[in-house]
Amino acid sequence: MSRVLVTTDYLGPGDDIDDLLRRHGHEVTYAPARGARSRAEALALFDGIDGAVIASEPITADMLETATSLKVIARSGVGYDSVDLAAAARHGVRVCNTPGVNHDAVAEMTIALILTTARKLSAVLCGVREGRWPRGAGRELRGSTLGVIGYGPSGRAVAQLGLAFGMSVAVHSAHPTGDPGIEFVDLDTVTATADYLSLHTRAAAQAGHLIDRKRLQAMKNTAVLINTARGSLVDEDALADALEAGDIAGAALDVVAREPLPADSRLRGLDNVLITSHLAGQTVEARNRAGLAAAQAVIDVLAGREPAHPVDKETV
């Protein structure tokens, strides 16, 4: 019997994922990722473990060095930059992810963040709760320009929702398509023309930030930056400077460089930034799909089959 570790905090004994793993003859153990682990806990995490369904916590070379029985790691999500792929390859550990399971959830959250900033809902809700009755004018989405960087499943779903709201949609992608209503443009153009600039691309392999000081200065001073992709895409110091100086009108971030957001982050004290707790993909439906897909990847590798979505092909 193989032992499978589950660290994704919303998965637990008795759910569909637990049932799937046990029906395939695996023993399941849980160590939910809720904040940073001590070094000793991290190094012992994979002791006696054959497969793992993991959250977005770091999986380092040191942790894999001691994981002598580990054969597969499956992310219950899309991002896998927290896993040291080179170290996994050295130790013969397959690494998989679960793309396409939460793109509708991410897209809906993206539009929710855009609407919240456009109608200033955060300030309104706080004002009413405090006994005031704020009635400042917001803005309509129709006729504005939605800029999308990255055109995978989430970016494509956001673009389609933007069209449904009557927005003009400009997309920067390395793989443009002929989708009707979508204008494919270069990175500088989408940055400079967007009223709402939404990020849906993976973390860059090269050093530096995709949205750096130069690109923030190139944006409209009425524009809003939305990030539901990766915290590392944005230079947060430069963003804080841009928000304070009025170089852009606002930002809505579901992901930040360090999570949870540090207490001393400059972004905490700004009225024109909205920050949520990395929950764009966290719907009941998306969580279940992600967990089942990750569990199936573990089952496949442990049975000697090729998983559906390996991310280690090049390194392996």
Residues with a catalytic annotation lie at 230, 259, 278
4: nearest Cα among 15, 25, 16, 88:
25
Phi first, then psi, for residue 74 (nearest 5°) are -120, 120
CB-based contact 124:134 (threshold 8 Å) = yes
How many C-beta neighbours within 10 Å does residue 242 have?
Answer: 24
Burial class (CB in 10 A: 0-12, 13-18, 19+), 132: exposed
Residue with structure tokens 């023993």?
A: 27
Q: In the numeric block, which tokens belong to residue 217?
A: 């200065």
Six-digit token pair at 45? 């995490």
Block residue for tokens 């012992």: 44
Q: Phi, psi (5° rounding) for residue 248?
A: -130, 160
Closest by CA position to 269, among listed 240, 237, 227, 226: 240
Helix (H) or strand (E) holding 40: helix 39-43
Return the closest-CA partner of residue 242 out of 197, 308, 184. 197
**What's the angle, vertex CA 117, arms to CA 281 and CA 121, rounded to 5?**
95
